[in-house]
């Protein structure tokens, strides 16, 4: 990981508090905050606090496996906190073809309406 990468990263700045966010869940490893441009009645982003550029950068290291396992295990906790009792969608956009715009690993948690399929 390069220093400049984290320094210019908008989600690293949200994690550090330099940029404000509407937080819905936080613990030592992850942060969840509301998306600025919600695509559903409920739309939050779940991010690891450490800078990982994308899902493609996730390694089979103990650290990454524990972190991602922790994040996934918290999805149902966050969904319940947000009242998404009728289901939800978890989305990761990865890289250019995945249309990832912010280069800090994040998962979109969307709910509050029925989702369409296939995605565009």
Active-site residue numbers? 106
Taking CA atoms, 114 is separated from 6, 15, 42, 98, in Å, by 36, 30, 12, 22
DSSP label at 114? P
* 18 is a contact residue toward ligand AMP (CB under 6 A): no
Residues 51-80 that bind ligand AMP (CB under 6 A): none
Contact pick of 2, 4, 101, 119 for ligand AMP (by CB under 6 A): 101
* 19 is a contact residue toward ligand AMP (CB under 6 A): yes
Query: Is the CB of residue 51 less than 8 Å from the CB of residue 76?
Result: no
Outline where 8-111 has alpha helix (H).
10-16, 62-81
* 28 is a contact residue toward ligand AMP (CB under 6 A): no
CB of 62 vs ligand AMP, minimal distance in Å:
27
């Amino acid at each position: 990981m390069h220093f400049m990468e984290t320094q210019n990263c908008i989600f690293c700045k949200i994690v550090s508090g330099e940029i404000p966010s509407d937080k819905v869940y936080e613990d030592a490893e992850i942060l969840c905050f509301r998306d600025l441009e919600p695509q559903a009645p409920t739309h939050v982003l779940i991010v690891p606090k450490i800078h990982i550029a994308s899902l493609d950068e996730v390694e089979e290291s103990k650290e990454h496996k524990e972190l991602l396992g922790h994040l996934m295990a918290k999805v149902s906790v966050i969904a319940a906190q947000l009242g998404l009792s009728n289901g939800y969608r978890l989305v990761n956009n990865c890289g250019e073809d995945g249309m990832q715009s912010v280069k800090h690993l994040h998962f979109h948690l969307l709910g509050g309406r029925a989702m369409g399929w296939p995605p565009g």
